[in-house]
Structure 1
Amino acid sequence: MNDVESVLLHTEGHVLHITLNRPRALNALTHSMVRTIDEALDLAAADDAVVAVLISGAGERGLCAGGDIRSIYEDARAGRRASVDFWRDEYRLNARIARFPKPYVALMDGLVMGGGVGVSAHGDIRVVTERSRVAMPETGIGFVPDVGGTRLLATAPGELGTHLALTGRPVDAAGALLCGLADHFVPSHRLPGLVQALARCAAPAEVTETVRRYATPAPDAELAAHRTWIDRCYTAATVEEIIERLTDDGAPEAGETARELLALPPTSLKVTLEAVRRARRLDSLEAALDQEFRVSCRAFDGHDLVEGVRARIIDKDRSPMWDPARLGDVTADEVARHFQPLGELELGLCPAP
């Protein structure tokens, strides 16, 4: 499959459809796909006949499983910097989606992870189904939530976003709605009818009303049942204290979470906690993306990202050797280093002060 075929574009009625078309790779994003989506938004913004954009994923498994991390691994191993250029354009696309002047409808059916969240959850009409599993799983590979994920998770109720950022756990449709990652629940069997109805919309207001007409109440959010111990434990100041509280809490799920966190890369955990808490103090998505770009660049130059991808995707031995291996060995200075400005290499979505 060539790069052009990786993103399919067509118009139905007044809606421009963007279909991510790498189903065998769970529609993982490549740099050329990001560029094609951006060009499609150029076309949609300039065409008065287009009233809305709809993004979806080919195949039955999901919208998008994130960026092509195998390519990132190969890039880092070879000493190249193509991944940094990819992130630069990807994060700019994320910001553009959030500010797009026409309705941007994201069908978040099936798996939606990492970069998939970036091309969907910043839209203004986000649809989940009973098959949806939405996650920012970056800590599991020695990385940190990006594509605006720290901003999204920082604004989730209570400490739910901190929990999801550190563990990388997926949420179902109800959990996505609870955390502000989605807007509407539409059963998957109703999606074909929704798409056909959207094609008949002639104005932006009709798009919003049509989605509401097809939406139904979502099932109860399982995540909501855990809110008490999550809020109690994740307000702690440090990762070490969070794990201590989880261990001592008494809720079986809290203890299980503590053991899960202890297996994850210490540097990623500490930088992720700092990133989410800093994102709460930022006043825009663009500022969060600028911050994430700094962190991503520093993580790309580190040990754990390559090791995490190797253990999970390349060799699949599930036995990563993190460095440092203990939380106590990750210093405050090392965490702070990830957030230092990049000089001329800054993403620059926010004007310099």
Structure 2
Amino acid sequence: MTGNEDAVLLHTDGRAARLVLNRPRALNALNHAMVNRIDDALTAWEHDPDVETVVLTGAGERGLCAGGDIRAVHDDARDGDGKASAAFWRDEYRLNARIAGYPKPYVAVMDGIVMGGGVGVSAHGGVRVVTERSRIAMPETGIGFVPDVGGTHLLGRAPGELGVHLALTGAQIGAGDAVLCGFADHYVPSVSLPRFLAELADLPVREALARHEQAPPQGELAAARGWIDACYAAGTVEEIVRRLLAHGAPAAAEAAGILLTRSPTALKVTLAALHRARRLGSLQEVLDQEYRVSCAALTSHDLVEGVRAQIVDKDRAPRWSPATLAEVADTDVERFFTPLGTQELGLAEPPPPTRASAPAHRRG
């Protein structure tokens, strides 16, 4: 086997086909070859009558997937022309959309850490399982980036302003809050996962779940809706921070402190992306928007600087530019949403006209 094949293990077990992300030392971070391998497997299994269910898990004890290979994106943005990253995102976002519409049950086991790109290959599935070990987040603003892989679609549909809070702060959530916010459907204790997975070889998903599913533990966000909804309903990041600082709840002040460490540009673009995602509606339209935003980020200072500070040098002291929210102009935000012309992702493009709807040709 090649290294690329080792990074995603494929096998069938009875009626279930298994996808195992297998880069445990990198917390199963996704690269382009892994995305393509998953997509090829989904194509083969979609047309295999012996496969009734697809199951996604991650190797190792730490989690399903910590995200995309952001170090490679950093190097491409800093030293290259960005084409490799754009090509990766093009295939990754198409895979996210494919998972959302997959015609067979797609069971994503979101055990342990699930962040960024890991959310993209799991939370769009038809059956999303969390455990007491689940820690789910979209932490992109901390590296000068913006939630992608359909994350703004999911976050925009969360109750009240919970999605705005999670998107701007990058806060991690557990099983109960993942279900509340629409990132997951079912809670299975981690001790039950081996038997649950084994039973999927012989049983329909619904029957296997019925044997092991429990009510999720109580989360934290429902009780925080008061201050979250009041503060994050503001139309600008500046006003959100002002409301958080003035609210009086210790958790609100803590959230404000977190926001003031994030990339000011990424915060403003993220808020705009979420508001636009709510209006767009479909996942395909939102992924098209996210592709524009991600490609624009390749030419921004903050993405390279954020990854340098958090992942490369690990000094945890990014020097954002612009350095403050007040310095980020509306035009700085708007450029992230500029159409890409012939380079658009195009998932939401209307289908070509059928014979019946095509305009009639006039006779000369």
Specify if TM > 0.5: yes
Alignment partners' CA distance in 1, 2:214 and 2:175: 12
Alignment partners' CA distance in 2, 1:64 and 1:313: 16
Deviating 4+ runs (over 3 angstroms)? none
Counting only pairs closer than 5 Å after superposition, residues 118-133 of structure 1 correspond to structure 2 as: 118-133=120-135
Report the equivalent of 1:329: 327
Deviations 1:18-70 (A, max 9, x none): 00000000000000000000001001101011001000000000000000111
Larger Rg: 2
How far 1:208 sits from its partner (Å)?
2.3
Correspondent of 2:283 among 279, 282, 285: 285
Counting aligned pairs with the same residue, the percent is 62
- 2:77 corresponds to 1:79: no
Alignment partners' CA distance in 1, 2:234 and 2:75: 37
TM-score where L is the length of structure 1:
0.97
Counting only pairs closer than 5 Å after superposition, residues 87-126 of structure 1 correspond to structure 2 as: 87-126=89-128
For these two proteins, the number of residue pairs brought into alignment is 349
Deviates more, 1:183-192 or 1:76-85: 76-85
- 2:167 corresponds to 1:165: yes
Counting only pairs closer than 5 Å after superposition, residues 231-250 of structure 1 correspond to structure 2 as: 231-250=229-248
Write the letter of the residue equivalent to 1:228. G
- 2:139 corresponds to 1:141: no
How far 1:252 sits from its partner (Å)?
0.5
Is the contact made by 1:125 and 1:208 (CA closer than 8 Å) also made in structure 2? Answer: no
Report the equivalent of 2:359: none
Is the contact made by 1:184 and 1:212 (CA closer than 8 Å) also made in structure 2? Answer: no
Look up the SS of the partner of 2:155 in the other structure. helix
Report the equivalent of 2:354: none
Report the equivalent of 2:158: 156
Counting only pairs closer than 5 Å after superposition, residues 1-353 of structure 1 correspond to structure 2 as: 2-80=3-81, 81-201=83-203, 206-351=204-349
Is the contact made by 1:6 and 1:20 (CA closer than 8 Å) also made in structure 2? Answer: yes
Alignment partners' CA distance in 2, 1:58 and 1:165: 27
Alignment partners' CA distance in 2, 1:332 and 1:278: 15
Structure 1: where are the runs of 5+ without partners?
none
Look up the SS of the partner of 2:12 in the other structure. strand
How far 1:224 sits from its partner (Å)?
1.4
How far 1:328 sits from its partner (Å)?
0.8
Deviations 1:291-319 (A, max 9, x none): 00000000111100000000000000011
Is the contact made by 1:294 and 1:339 (CA closer than 8 Å) also made in structure 2? Answer: yes
Alignment partners' CA distance in 1, 2:206 and 2:237: 41
TM-score where L is the length of structure 2:
0.95
Alignment partners' CA distance in 2, 1:154 and 1:41: 28
Look up the SS of the partner of 1:123 in the other structure. coil
How far 1:352 sits from its partner (Å)?
5.5
Look up the SS of the partner of 1:102 in the other structure. coil
Report the aligned-residue RMSD: 1.0
Look up the SS of the partner of 2:51 in the other structure. coil
How far 1:283 sits from its partner (Å)?
2.3
How far 1:74 sits from its partner (Å)?
1.2
Look up the SS of the partner of 1:36 in the other structure. helix
Alignment partners' CA distance in 1, 2:35 and 2:80: 23
